[in-house]
Chain A
Amino acid sequence: DSGVTQTPKHLITATGQRVTLRCSPRSGDLSVYWYQQSLDQGLQFLIQYYNGEERAKGNILERFSAQQFPDLHSELNLSSLELGDSALYFCASSAGTDYNEQFFGPGTRLTVL
């Protein structure tokens, strides 16, 4: 158990819908990262937050957005869902200094039908 929690574990929805994925970082970690794992794209970085502020953006679609709340949990919002958005979405957290490993949560498996 990494100490990073994600809910829900599985999500099945239809095209065009909107979903919210939730992540709680390890206690004391200030940085939260979101990654997408799919068969065709592999593991790709989406977005990073540090202590409530957006820190870096990767290959995140405009239909996707995220935020980190004052209690440091983070939510990833996916809207106008397409079949190709089906993937495993991982959240990771780190302490936020230069020499840190990232600890990954169990992931949310999103299936868009």
Chain B
Amino acid sequence: AQSVSQHNHHVILSEAASLELGCNYSYGGTVNLFWYVQYPGQHLQLLLKYFSGDPLVKGIKGFEAEFIKSKFSFNLRKPSVQWSDTAEYFCAVNSNFGNEKLTFGTGTRLTIIP
């Protein structure tokens, strides 16, 4: 069975600080990887996705993530955060075969202090 671990439950940063949120997954086959963001009171929005190819993926709002297959990791990064990045961030995985459900991590709450 697939599982996703997000070890950082709550991260607090000042504006302009650099961000890295950890995501590790457990799955025996080939996977698709996703980061979603949920702003307060809103629905999940896709930040970026990895299906295949270049393991460094760039998404919206200046976010990027790197897929490291040997470490089963897909960490999210942003060089300089803004107050508007305050949100909850979810890493998710599904199999790249068969149009499958997403398995989500527990989420990381990011608070940016102005």
A77-113 CB mask vs B (1 if < 8 Å, else 0) is 0000000000000101010111111111111000000
Size bin of chain B's contact surface: 20 to 34
* B42 surroundings in chain A (CB, below 8 A): 106
Given A2-B45, A101-B34, A104-B45, 9 new contacts (CB under 8 A): A31-B99, A35-B102, A90-B43, A94-B99, A98-B96, A98-B97, A99-B96, A104-B36, A107-B43
Kindly state the separation between the CA atoms of A2 and B43 in the bound complex, as whole angstroms.
9
CA distance A44 to B2 in the complex (A): 12
Query: Would you give the 0/1 interface string for B8-46, flagging 1 where the beta carbon is closer than 8 Å to chain A?
Result: 000000000000000000000000101010000011111
Bound Cα distance from A13 to B102, whole angstroms:
29
B96: chain A residues within 8 A (beta carbon): 98-99
Interface of B is mostly: loop
Q: How distant is the Cα of A106 from the Cα of B46 in the complex, in angstroms? A: 13
A21, B97: Cα distance in complex, Å: 29
Instruction: Confirm or deny: B89 has a beta carbon within 8 angstroms of a beta carbon on chain A.
Output: no
Q: Which residues of B contact A (CB under 8 A)?
A: 32, 34, 36, 42-46, 49, 51, 90, 96-107
Nearest Cβ on chain B to A4's Cβ, whole angstroms: 8
Give the number of chain A interface residues (Cβ < 8 Å). Answer: 28
Pairwise interchain contact B99-A58, C-beta atoms closer than 8 A: no
Chain A, Cβ-Cβ closest to B48: A101
Closest to A57 in B: B101
Known A42-B107, A43-B90, A98-B96; contact A103-B46, beta-carbon cutoff 8 A: yes
Residues of A within 8 A of B101 (CB): 33, 45, 48, 56, 58
| 6 tightest A-B CB contacts, nearest first | A43-B104, A104-B44, A45-B101, A106-B43, A104-B43, A99-B51
* Residue among B51, B100, B106 having the largest count of chain A Cβ atoms under 10 Å: B100
Complex Cα–Cα for A67 and B47 (A): 29
Q: List 7 A-B contacts (CB under 8 A).
A: A35-B102, A45-B103, A55-B99, A56-B101, A103-B46, A104-B44, A107-B43
